[in-house]
Amino acid sequence: MAKFLLSLHVLASVLFIGPVAVAVSMFPRRAKAALAGGPEQAADAGMLRLLHRITQVYALLGIAVPVLGIGVAQVMDVLGQSWLIASMVLTAVAALALLLFVLPAQQAAVDALDLEHGSADHGKAVKGLALLPMTAGVFNLLWAVVVVLMIIRPGSTTGA
């Protein structure tokens, strides 16, 4: 049962967290291009909406990753180990960063697409993008640390 749950956990990680990480990383550059105007603005606006939708949908699907992870940890009897607790805390911080910073900033940028270029609200949305590249980087860094902890598992008694 542990191998089956672990396989589902890893598969869900790759299929659900991977697209979020990529979409979150691509969004800031596309947002600046779409909100700046120019000849390719329509294509950038369409891409911006698509990246935001990918982030939303796959973030929701990504809930399966920690749920399956907790199931794997219970079956493997490692739920109280420090490396797993650290991973769970970092996963929660990454989820909070996504929910509190990344998704609202993305939504503001998508909403600004419908505003008149040069208006006060449009300018506010553009200024709101300033922290998005850093937030996206922190989000992806947190997931990278979680992956490393899952592989190295310092102090693990499983011997793997």
Question: Residue 15: its pLDDT value, please?
Answer: 96
Question: Residue 71: its pLDDT value, please?
Answer: 94
Largest CA distance in the chain: 60
CA distance 20 to 15: 9
Question: Residue 123: its pLDDT value, please?
Answer: 72
Q: pTM for the complete prediction?
A: 0.85
Question: Residue 63: its pLDDT value, please?
Answer: 96
For the chain, residues with pLDDT lower than 50 are none
CA distance 24 to 132: 9
Question: Residue 35: its pLDDT value, please?
Answer: 80
